[in-house]
């Protein structure tokens, strides 16, 4: 029996989809990339902005015909929109077989049993079959939920309050992922750096994961500026496995807006953290999230956001138009006209893209360690995606010299083996995905880092 998964939204949802897939695989199902082949389709939804929810719902609507085409087909809807709109989904799409909201992820195994009509008891042992998740860069969820209540945000309502996985559980999952081929671990949580468990704080966990056998790289997403403490910065600066790249959502550059959003930091505090990090972590890339058009945002507030972007010089960023989420504290505030939000969105995008291009352009000619993920695509430590040109030919040549690489690569493939860390000289930085060539020279340092 085959299943197909469609995921909307953030990395947390991607990780949740992986976790649910593992539950299904452990019950003997096989994942397919072709919905026509599948007997089960799982749609993992997002509700952070209305647009994300609308897209998922129109896909779910189309699945009525898919389901009718073959007897026994099942449609499962999970995630944040499922949590928010359970009754509505049931009414609008009565053909759904299972609706499992984001809060019930940790219980998905039991739900899968019911869906597939399995008894839990004596079959439990079979479920211990290790599932194969051969991703070079793997995600490990360390906490769920969020204790903040940023006034625009639906997440605390659909994912609940923070719960932390135990350090033992996390290190166990890291070992599992490494044994399946992972070389890079990204720790995940809504405010990932607020993690604590017994005496462990986030910085301690970061160290422990970095010290795990087989882990070449560690990242984490998404940190909250408030918890970006000197201790965490020190770990980033001194533990070699922890990559020098950070996604640190700022949302706005105006103190009035930050206060209205209940973000728990000021512009000045954010800038001070950035300054500390830039001093301590050489060559770090920094990216961010910004919301434009929050209710009450004046032209002056907006310009402060632009000026913060100029000041920080983010390496890249995601700009979102404010979207009212029912039930959040900001929902009753009067919205700006769509045209104004659109105009600010454009201006902000232009600035962020201009800076991003200027920063990338400087990388041409520099040499980076790239962890190859698949098909000659990989990532630098600074988290740029890179396409390695000419990798096919060079991989063949190199394979003759390096038996281990050849073995890992497998005879049929002419690409560089996933999991290899290679040195790449950047040749083109026009697009967000850089291009580069293998650098075989005898260079013992990176001229960028």
Where along the sequence are the contacts to ligand 5AD (CB under 6 A)?
A: 10, 48-49, 152-153, 249, 251, 289, 291, 320, 322-323, 325
Span near ligand SF4 by CB under 6 A; candidates 58-66, 116-124, 141-149, 176-184: 141-149
Identify which of residues 197 and 325 has a Cβ nearer to ligand 5AD in the complex. Answer: 325
Please state, in angstroms and as integers, the Cα–Cα distance from residue 387 to each residue in 219, 378, 380, 390, 416, following that order: 21, 7, 11, 10, 11
Considering the complex, what minimum distance in angstroms separates the CB of residue 356 from ligand 5AD? 17
Residue 148 interacts with ligand SF4 (CB under 6 A): yes or no: yes
Span near ligand SF4 by CB under 6 A; candidates 54-62, 152-160, 399-407, 417-425: 152-160
Binds ligand SF4 by CB under 6 A, chosen from 31, 32, 131, 156: 156
When CB distances are held under 5 to 8 angstroms depending on the partner's kind, the choice from ligand 5AD, ligand SF4, none that residue 40 binds is none
Decide if 167 contacts 209 (C-beta within 8 A): no
When CB distances are held under 5 to 8 angstroms depending on the partner's kind, the choice from ligand 5AD, ligand SF4, none that residue 146 binds is ligand SF4
Considering the complex, what minimum distance in angstroms separates the CB of residue 48 from ligand 5AD? 5
Rounded-to-integer distance, Cα 382 and Cα 420, Å: 17
Considering the complex, what minimum distance in angstroms separates the CB of residue 48 from ligand SF4? 8
Residue 150 interacts with ligand SF4 (CB under 6 A): yes or no: yes
DSSP character at residue 123: T
Span near ligand SF4 by CB under 6 A; candidates 74-82, 130-138, 147-155, 203-211: 147-155
Rounded-to-integer distance, Cα 394 and Cα 405, Å: 12
- In terms of DSSP H, where are the helices of 104-212? 108-115, 155-159, 167-179, 202-210
Q: What does the DSSP assignment read for 242-292? A: B-SEEE---B-S-HHHHHHTT-S--HHHHHHHHHHHHHHSTT-EEEEEEEE
When CB distances are held under 5 to 8 angstroms depending on the partner's kind, the choice from ligand 5AD, ligand SF4, none that residue 325 binds is ligand 5AD
Residues 189-208 that bind ligand SF4 (CB under 6 A): 190-191
Classify residue 129 by burial, with Cβ atoms within 10 Å: 0-12, 13-18, 19+: exposed
Residue 153 interacts with ligand SF4 (CB under 6 A): yes or no: yes
When CB distances are held under 5 to 8 angstroms depending on the partner's kind, the choice from ligand SF4, ligand 5AD, none that residue 283 binds is none
Rounded-to-integer distance, Cα 420 and Cα 398, Å: 12
Cα dihedral angle (212, 218, 224, 230), rounded to 10 degrees? 70
Residues near ligand SF4 (CB under 6 A) are 146, 148-150, 153, 155-156, 190-191, 224
């Amino acid at each position: 029996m085959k299943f197909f998964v469609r995921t909307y939204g953030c990395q947390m949802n991607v990780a949740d989809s992986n976790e649910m897939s593992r539950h299904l695989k452990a019950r003997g199902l096989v994942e397919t990339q072709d919905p026509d082949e599948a007997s089960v389709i799982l749609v993992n939804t997002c509700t952070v902005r209305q647009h994300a929810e609308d897209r998922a719902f129109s896909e779910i609507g189309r699945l009525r015909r898919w389901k009718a085409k073959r007897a026994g087909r099942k449609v499962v809807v999970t995630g944040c929109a499922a949590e928010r709109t359970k009754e509505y989904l049931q009414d609008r799409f009565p053909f759904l077989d299972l609706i499992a909201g984001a809060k019930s992820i940790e219980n998905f195994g039991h739900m899968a049993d019911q869906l597939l009509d399995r008894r839990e008891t004596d079959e439990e042992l079979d479920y211990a079959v290790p599932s194969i998740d051969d991703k070079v860069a793997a995600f490990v969820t360390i906490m769920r939920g969020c204790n903040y209540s940023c006034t625009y945000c639906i997440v605390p309502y659909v994912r609940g309050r923070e719960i932390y996985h135990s350090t033992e559980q996390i290190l166990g999952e890291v070992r599992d992922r490494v044994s399946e081929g992972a070389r890079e671990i990204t720790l995940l949580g809504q405010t990932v750096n607020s993690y604590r468990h017994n005496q462990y704080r986030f910085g301690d966990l970061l160290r422990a994961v970095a010290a795990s056998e087989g882990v070449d790289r560690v990242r984490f997403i998404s940190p909250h500026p408030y918890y970006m403490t000197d201790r965490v910065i020190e770990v980033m600066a001194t533990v070699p496995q922890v990559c020098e790249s950070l996604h640190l959502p700022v949302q706005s550059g105006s103190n009035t807006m930050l206060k209205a959003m209940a973000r728990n930091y000021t512009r000045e505090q954010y800038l001070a953290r950035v300054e500390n990090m830039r001093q301590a972590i050489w060559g770090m890339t920094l990216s961010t999230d910004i919301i434009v058009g929050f209710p009450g945002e004046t032209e002056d507030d907006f310009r402060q956001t632009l000026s913060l972007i100029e000041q920080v010089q983010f390496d890249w960023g995601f700009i979102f138009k404010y979207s009212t989420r029912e039930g959040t504290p900001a929902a009753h505030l009067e919205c700006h006209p769509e045209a104004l939000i659109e105009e600010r969105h454009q201006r902000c995008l232009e600035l962020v893209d201009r800076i991003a291009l200027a920063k990338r352009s400087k990388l041409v000619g520099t040499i980076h360690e790239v962890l190859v993920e698949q098909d000659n695509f990989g990532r630098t430590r600074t988290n740029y995606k890179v396409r390695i040109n000419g990798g096919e030919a060079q991989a063949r040549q190199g394979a003759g010299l390096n038996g281990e690489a050849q073995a890992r690569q497998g005879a049929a493939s002419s690409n560089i083996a996933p999991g290899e860390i290679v040195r790449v000289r950047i040749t083109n930085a026009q697009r967000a995905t850089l291009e580069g060539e293998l650098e075989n020279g005898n260079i013992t340092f990176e001229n960028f880092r």
